């Protein structure tokens, strides 16, 4: 049997679509009072008999910090996909991020070891990929540094250390490091905000760029890493390195809107994070801009996907196709 943590998130929901097409029994964890409607909506994007497939999921209420509940979820499980995580760039959320991303992953690893799970595939992030001073393109072997890393990257790196610790204790593992994951159905969080923001017609775009990937590519690499003899390996999962300007331009064109024409200057970004800090202090709102993620917004870090391509003989979906698909669904759901 297969267990998926974080089944109500973007990656988890899309992974469940593929897993329910097989004969395997699929268990997915959810937090109490979590909304399954978005997961059901994701199923409807890809198959006509989506309700039949969706009904094949055996949902178990189990927070990854709740060890007794997890032990129940793990009964008779043989393979685990760990997709659950918290995403935040607010320094105030460090303790919460550490508990969920690091301690939660440690719980998953420990129970995997105790239950002699055959393999664990873990969804990490390119935020944990280092930077080589001698080249503009980084890969899985580039040394990572905590200097200037945001709180999300710090805790995902710590989570990876728990996975590697599990591998030293006999657990077979594979880690997937996705870039910015593009996928439909979650328009108010993660990369979904790219579409929501683009629809508002803003004329400014961030100066930097990063690696982007379709959510279905992340799912396919998770499946490949699980269903092959791969062990103790990590794979950068990106389709293309792109500037934010180009991505936002493609989205706005798909939405029949005017593309952003003005690049945010460094001094404007500095003002933005200070205003965001003041807003957070006065109104206790979530931080949207911090000094640490300003650096990532400004830099043009490039990632190599060569290892994934050569290991699995894999061809990534084009970002153009992914943006067109997501934009089409966004328009349908926001104009109806």
Q: What is the mean pLDDT of residues 326-333?
A: 94
pLDDT in tens, 126-138: 999 987 767 778 9
pLDDT of residue 277: 52
**Confidence bin at 298 (pLDDT 50/70/90):** low
Q: What is the pLDDT of residue 301?
A: 82
To the nearest whole percent, how much of the chain has pLDDT over 70? 89
Mean pLDDT of 190-215: 89
What share of the chain in percent tops pLDDT 90?
71
DSSP H/E element including 237: strand 233-237
Name the average pLDDT for the chain: 90
Distance CA 325, CA 322 (A): 5
How far is the C-alpha of 28 from the C-alpha of 61, rounded, in Å? 9
Domain 2-189+209-241+301-318 in CATH 3.30.70.100? The answer is no
Q: Evaluate if residue 148 carries a pLDDT over 80.
A: no
166 burial level (CB within 10 Å; 0-12, 13-18, 19+)? buried
Identify the residue with better confidence: 185 or 290.
185
Tell me if 16 sits within 8 A of 95, measured CB to CB. no
Instruction: Provide CB contacts within 8 A for 228, sequence distance 6+.
Output: 312
Least confident of 124-138, 216-230, 243-257: 124-138
């Amino acid at each position: 049997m297969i267990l998926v943590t974080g089944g109500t998130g973007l990656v988890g929901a899309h992974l469940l679509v593929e897993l329910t097409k097989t004969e395997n029994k699929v268990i997915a964890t959810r937090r109490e009072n979590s909304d399954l409607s978005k997961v059901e909506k994701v199923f409807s994007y890809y198959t006509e008999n989506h309700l039949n497939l969706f009904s094949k999921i055996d949902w178990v209420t189990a927070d990854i910090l709740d060890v007794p509940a997890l032990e129940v979820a793990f009964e008779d499980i043989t393979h685990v996909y760990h997709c659950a995580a918290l995403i935040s760039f607010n320094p105030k959320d460090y303790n919460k991020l550490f508990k969920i991303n690091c301690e939660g992953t440690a719980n998953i690893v420990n129970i995997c070891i105790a239950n002699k799970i055959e393999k664990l595939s873990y969804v990490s992030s390119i935020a944990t990929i280092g930077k080589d001073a001698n080249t503009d393109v980084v890969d899985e072997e580039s040394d990572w540094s905590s200097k200037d890393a945001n709180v999300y990257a710090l805790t995902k790196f710590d989570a990876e250390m728990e996975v590697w610790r599990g591998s030293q204790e006999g657990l077979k593992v594979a880690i997937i490091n996705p870039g910015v994951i593009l996928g439909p159905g979650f328009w108010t969080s993660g990369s979904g905000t790219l579409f929501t923001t683009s629809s508002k017609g803003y004329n400014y775009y961030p100066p930097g760029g990063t690696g982007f990937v379709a959510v279905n590519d992340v799912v396919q690499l998770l499946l490949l890493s699980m269903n092959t003899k791969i062990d103790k390996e990590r794979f950068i999962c990106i389709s293309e390195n792109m500037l934010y300007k180009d991505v936002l331009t493609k989205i706005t064109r798909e939405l029949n809107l005017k593309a952003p024409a003005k690049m945010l200057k460094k001094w404007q970004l500095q003002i933005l994070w200070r205003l965001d800090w003041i807003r957070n202090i006065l109104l206790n709102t979530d931080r949207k801009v911090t000094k640490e993620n300003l650096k990532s917004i400004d830099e043009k870090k490039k990632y190599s996907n060569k290892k994934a391509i050569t290991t699995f003989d894999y061809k990534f979906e084009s970002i153009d196709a992914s943006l067109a698909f997501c934009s089409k669904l966004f328009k349908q759901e926001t104009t109806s």
